[in-house]
Structure 1
Amino acid sequence: MEKAMQQSHGVGYTEYSQKLEKRLQIEKEREKNYRESRRLVSEVDRQIHR
């Protein structure tokens, strides 16, 4: 998990778990990425079912 966190967000799990500001920033980024991916899936789905 440490390596994945480092690769994805440039911060290790230890820092993530100890620094609230960093954790909030990462979670905000994750939420943005999730919403964008859902938007893209929805767009592709609409194009497929025309």
Structure 2
Amino acid sequence: MVFINQLQLNYTSDMEKAMHGAHGVGYETYSRKHEVRMKVEKRRQEEHIKCQQMIANLEKKVHS
């Protein structure tokens, strides 16, 4: 069997704990399963957009 989607990642135990805490999966699963990576990255993108919107709203309030 050939793993086309597997990532070669170097990570620490603290990164493993953070990944489990934030996304409920470990790096081993994240690196092997494309659908898991896409779900995690979609959630990260959504969180990033929300944070950018919050920053924009705060800046608007500060400069008003």
The unaligned stretches of length 5 or more in structure 2 are: 1-14
Bigger Cα Rg: 2
**Higher relative contact order (Cα pairs below 8 Å, separated by 6+ residues):** 2
The alignment yields a C-alpha RMSD, in angstroms, of: 0.4
Q: Give me the TM-score of the superposition, normalised by structure 1.
A: 0.97
Q: Give me the TM-score of the superposition, normalised by structure 2.
A: 0.76
The count of corresponding residues between Structure 1 and Structure 2 is 50
The unaligned stretches of length 5 or more in structure 1 are: none
- Three-state SS of the structure 2 residue aligned to 1:31 is helix
Q: Percent identity?
A: 38
Higher helix residue share? 1
Dislocated runs of 4+, deviation >3 Å: none
